[in-house]
Chain A
Amino acid sequence: GAGVSQSPRYKVAKRGQDVALRCDPISGHVSLFWYQQALGQGPEFLTYFQNEAQLDKSGLPSDRFFAERPEGSVSTLKIQRTQQEDSAVYLCASIQGPHQGSTEAFFGQGTRLTVV
């Protein structure tokens, strides 16, 4: 596609509900990142994929968070048993590299998750 696409744009979940957030990166982009952005804060790193390999998941805040990218393209971030502190915007970014191409990161519009 022309850009990074995320869905849904908005999600309201009841506390305890499981949610799945989808990211469609730019076609051919090797690197994919997930970030969590709380209101008034900068994006905080969650996890990084290089193709289908999850090379860094050090930013995932708890074992309720799980991410996958099974075919090296679309990625899903799953949050189990959502809590109110999970309310945030979840941003996905892709980069063409690392080994070649631009290092510019392209962002999706984000999924705004509200846990009630």
Chain B
Amino acid sequence: RKEVEQDPGPFNVPEGATVAFNCTYSNSASQSFFWYRQDCRKEPKLLMSVYSSGNEDGRFTAQLNRASQYISLLIRDSKLSDSATYLCVVILRFMDMGRRALTFGSGTRLQVQP
């Protein structure tokens, strides 16, 4: 089983729709969680961090459920420009020396259609 799992999609939704992605992680000692966005043939870029209390940035809401070991991303009123791959990122290790390893999910592809 992969340490971080995502539904690969693709999710094909019409403009204005609300869409939600989930990401599950297997290591209960995971420290930090992020959503990154990756456009075709581009590098990943940070979309938002994910906190236990949940956080919202405009049309985007991210939530963390530590008990069930998953994070979610909700996109409201989706735009054509939201079409991309959304990568779940988990920081798994934080040892005394501060060693960290970011682990990525395989990404969920979103295609917003007119």
Cβ-closest chain A residue relative to B105: A42
B104 lies within 8 A of A42 (CB): yes
Are A55 and B99 CB-contacts (below 8 A) given A42-B104, A42-B105, A103-B32? yes
B43 lies within 8 A of A109 (CB): yes
Our count of residue pairs bridging A and B at CB distance below 8 angstroms stands at 58
Are A48 and B99 CB-contacts (below 8 A) given A42-B105, A103-B32, A105-B89? yes
In the complex, A50 has a CB within 8 A of chain B = yes
B45 lies within 8 A of A107 (CB): yes
Contact residue range for chain A?
A: 20 to 34
In the complex, A91 has a CB within 8 A of chain B = yes
B97 lies within 8 A of A108 (CB): no
Contact residue range for chain B?
A: 20 to 34
CA distance A56 to B106 in the complex (A): 21
CA distance A43 to B2 in the complex (A): 13
CB neighbours (8 Å) of A56 from chain B are 99, 101
CA distance A93 to B102 in the complex (A): 10
CA distance A97 to B91 in the complex (A): 13
Interface residues of A in 40-89 (CB under 8 A from B): 41-45, 48, 50, 55-56
A105 lies within 8 A of B46 (CB): yes
29 CB-based A-B contacts, threshold 8 Å: A31-B100, A33-B102, A41-B106, A41-B107, A42-B6, A42-B104, A42-B105, A42-B106, A42-B107, A43-B44, A43-B87, A43-B104, A48-B100, A50-B99, A55-B99, A93-B102, A95-B100, A97-B98, A97-B100, A98-B99, A98-B100, A104-B46, A104-B49, A105-B46, A105-B102, A107-B43, A108-B43, A109-B42, A110-B43
Known: A41-B107, A42-B6. 14 other contacts (CB 8 A): A33-B102, A35-B104, A42-B87, A43-B87, A44-B104, A45-B103, A50-B99, A91-B43, A91-B44, A98-B94, A99-B98, A103-B91, A105-B89, A105-B102
